[in-house]
């Protein structure tokens, strides 16, 4: 069985594939100082709840945008799975072209998403990943990564409002019924939520105009589901883009199509 680890700045996803399907997924807060032993204890307990054991995992692939965490994740695989993991960005063959100025600067998560999207959706694509940052990635019909846009994430914007303005409270993200708020909290919720809808709609329109050809827009990421029903600019919401891309990269590098 394959253990796929997708680590963002805020959360880390652990997913198990049994050769046919994803049978388990768990998220934990990203902590760069968490050791391989701590990961192993946490993961072993969750596996046991599914009737599984860590020793049943015989493959591991890691995608991380937190360089200081990769050492401990790599040691988790080596020490407890007894396998050398594939690490995105570490001499792993992605099987895709990055048509950008500095391919080495492209985030692992963005490239993995591009592969996961191209596997399922035909034609030219915009992949919007809503996480700590909100990224808009352009994927050509031939699967090439063409670059895109990086904007602050919605949670980051909320945090900045609270920390930079003494009178503004910390609030939860939710979709307001109205754009015009009647108190401080509803004003903030409207500004953040509808402001991000406007950001999405505006950037999608500009990217499409610049690209000059029809494009399908895919939404993914930790808070993408918030925008379902709020905008017609996103054609599909797909929470599994990243792990789908990781599985495909694993197969391309191990040549084991049944893993």
Longest CA–CA span in the chain (Å) reads 58
Whose tokens are 């599914």? That residue is: 50
Whose tokens are 């760069």? That residue is: 32
3-state SS class at 17: strand
How far, in whole angstroms, is CA 137 from its chain's centroid?
A: 12
3-state SS class at 98: strand
Strands 59-64 and 145-152: unpaired
Both tokens assigned to 58: 């015989």
Other Cβ atoms closer than 10 A to 131: 21
Which residue among 37, 90, 109, 124 is the active-site one?
109
Pair 207, 126: CB distance under 8 Å: yes
Whose tokens are 């690209």? That residue is: 211
Q: Please enumerate in sequence order all residues whose Cβ is within 8 A of that of 136, keeping only pairs 6 or more positions apart, or say none.
A: 126, 127, 128, 148, 149, 150, 151, 203, 204, 207
109 catalytic residue (yes or no): yes
- Rounded Cα gap, residues 215 and 48, in angstroms: 43
Long-range contacts of 27-30 (CB under 8 A, 24+ apart): 30/66, 30/69
Alpha-carbon dihedral sign for residues 147, 152, 237, 50: positive
Instruction: Enumerate the active-site residues.
Output: 109
């Amino acid at each position: 069985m394959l253990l796929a680890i997708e680590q963002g700045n805020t959360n880390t996803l652990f997913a198990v594939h049994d050769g046919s399907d994803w049978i388990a997924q768990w998220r934990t807060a990203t902590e760069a100082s968490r050791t391989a032993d701590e990961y192993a204890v946490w993961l072993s307990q969750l596996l046991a709840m599914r009737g599984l054991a860590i020793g049943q995992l015989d493959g591991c692939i890691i995608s991380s945008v937190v360089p200081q965490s990769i050492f401990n994740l790599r040691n988790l695989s080596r020490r407890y799975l007894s396998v050398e993991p594939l690490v995105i960005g570490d001499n792993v063959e992605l099987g895709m072209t990055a048509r950008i100025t500095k391919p080495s600067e492209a985030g692992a998560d963005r490239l993995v998403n591009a592969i996961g999207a191209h596997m399922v959706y035909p034609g030219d694509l915009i992949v919007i990943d809503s996480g700590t940052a909100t990224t808009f990635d352009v994927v050509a019909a031939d699967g090439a990564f063409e670059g895109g846009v990086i904007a602050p994430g919605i949670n980051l914007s909320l945090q900045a409002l609270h920390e930079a303005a003494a009178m503004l409270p910390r609030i939860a993200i939710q979709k307001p019924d109205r754009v015009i708020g009647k108190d401080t909290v509803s004003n903030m919720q409207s500004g953040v939520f509808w402001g991000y809808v406007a950001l999405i709609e505006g950037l999608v329109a500009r990217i499409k105009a610049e690209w000059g050809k029809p494009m399908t827009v895919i939404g993914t990421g930790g808070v993408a589901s918030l925008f379902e029903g709020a905008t017609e600019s996103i054609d599909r919401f797909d929470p599994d883009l990243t792990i789908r891309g990781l599985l495909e990269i694993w197969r391309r590098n191990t040549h084991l199509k049944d893993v």
